[in-house]
Amino acid sequence: MPMRLLSFVYGGRKDYGISLDDEVVPSSELSRVLGKPLPPTLDELIGTPLVDEVVSLGSRAFERSIKLEEVEIIRPISNPPKIICLGRNYAEHAAETGSQLPSEPVIFMKPRTSLNDPFSDVLVPDDYTSEVDYEGEIAFVVKRGGRKLSEEEARASILGYLAFNDVTARDLQRRDKQWVRGKSLDGFAPIGPWIEVGVDFEELGIFTWVNGELRQRASSGEMIFKPWEILMVLSRGMTMEAGDLIATGTPAGVGAFSDPPRLLRHGDLVEVEIWNVGRIRNRIVFESLR
């Protein structure tokens, strides 16, 4: 049964828990039901086998819950050991950038300081970049890592899925040849709104809207390297760790490669929805204009 792992603020205090339908069960109640203490953050919980115990609680009756609408949902994790992103993982997007289909995953990384909340502004240092773009993506969180993962191990290593906006400064990306600086500005990775656990990869897809206009639409079936294949290839030489966040690449329809280009402007509202998971919604705010 699908359920969500989420982090939130309630009563002025950061907490995490699970959400079923429109209820949130806070960590204190999960701890009471399990009869053992839980770590203080979802990042830390994911690093322990306790995450499986929490997920297995499923929809059992809880004594204490909070209405979902009463909490402020924040980024589910804020301290992943790694944030790995794929480029060109959809054929149509590779074509729009003028690239060949990759024979191996094309990867880069973003720093933890790029993470942002699911409904917060993306602040753009517009004295530093003038070509900001969106990339709606399906991301997943690693539950168990390791080296040289088999397909079975890789599949079992996926904790769940979430929406990811790989916000990109195209001018910096182009100037540097490689992508790190243009992908790494503070807040250029809104994620969430939660980690959906127990949903089938085949049932996922992406919608990206800018100011209500649909710009990207793709199903997970169009992805070239599937999540478990990404883990299998990467883990041949890099240890995957619990809590690693992997963004699986954007489909066609990003602004820079539209004709004419449609880059983001001050005040634009970008929404990324992963089907059967949820939607994040972030306003673009230029620092010189706020």
Q: Running DSSP on this structure, what letter comes out for residue 11?
A: T
Least CB distance from residue 245 to Mg ion, whole Å? Answer: 13
Amino acid sitting at position 2? P
Kindly tell me the burial class for residue 201, based on how many C-beta atoms sit within 10 Å of its own C-beta (0-12, 13-18, 19 or more).
Answer: middle
**Total residue count of the chain as it appears in this document:** 290
173 versus 250: smaller Cβ distance to Mg ion: 250
* Interface residue with Mg ion, options 135, 244, 268, 273 (CB under 5 A): 135
Least CB distance from residue 138 to Mg ion, whole Å? Answer: 11
User: Per CB under 5 A, which region of 33-41, 99-107, 118-126, 129-137 contacts Mg ion?
Assistant: 129-137
48 versus 113: smaller Cβ distance to Mg ion: 113
157 versus 250: smaller Cβ distance to Mg ion: 250
* Interface residue with Mg ion, options 43, 166, 271, 273 (CB under 5 A): 166
Distance CA 134, CA 257 (A): 11
User: Per CB under 5 A, which region of 65-73, 103-111, 132-140, 216-224 contacts Mg ion?
Assistant: 132-140
Distance CA 283, CA 151 (A): 39
- Closest residue to Mg ion in the complex (CB): 166
166 versus 271: smaller Cβ distance to Mg ion: 166
User: Per CB under 5 A, which region of 70-78, 203-211, 218-226, 242-250 contacts Mg ion?
Assistant: 242-250
Using alpha carbons, list the distances in angstroms from residue 250 to 42, 74, 118, 171, 216.
Answer: 26, 23, 18, 18, 9
Q: How many residues make contact with Mg ion (CB under 5 A)?
A: 3
Closest alpha carbon to 165 in 183, 146, 181: 183
112 versus 155: smaller Cβ distance to Mg ion: 112
Amino acid sitting at position 148? K
**Which residues make Cβ contacts (< 8 Å) with residue 23, sequence separation at least 6?**
65, 66, 67, 68
**Token code pair at residue 45:** 């919980």
Least CB distance from residue 166 to Mg ion, whole Å? Answer: 3
Inter-residue contact 203 to 284 (CB < 8 Å):
no
Inter-residue contact 76 to 190 (CB < 8 Å):
no
Distance CA 87, CA 179 (A): 10
38 versus 284: smaller Cβ distance to Mg ion: 284
Q: Is 96 in the site for Mg ion (CB under 5 A)?
A: no
42 versus 247: smaller Cβ distance to Mg ion: 247
Least CB distance from residue 118 to Mg ion, whole Å? Answer: 17
188 versus 194: smaller Cβ distance to Mg ion: 188
**Token code pair at residue 79:** 């301290």
Least CB distance from residue 99 to Mg ion, whole Å? Answer: 13
Inter-residue contact 147 to 239 (CB < 8 Å):
yes
Least CB distance from residue 15 to Mg ion, whole Å? Answer: 31
Scan residues 249-288 and list those touching Mg ion (CB under 5 A): 250
**Which residues make Cβ contacts (< 8 Å) with residue 282, sequence separation at least 6?**
116, 118, 119, 120, 121, 122, 165, 190, 269, 270, 271
* Residues at the contact surface with Mg ion, assessed by CB under 5 A: 135, 166, 250
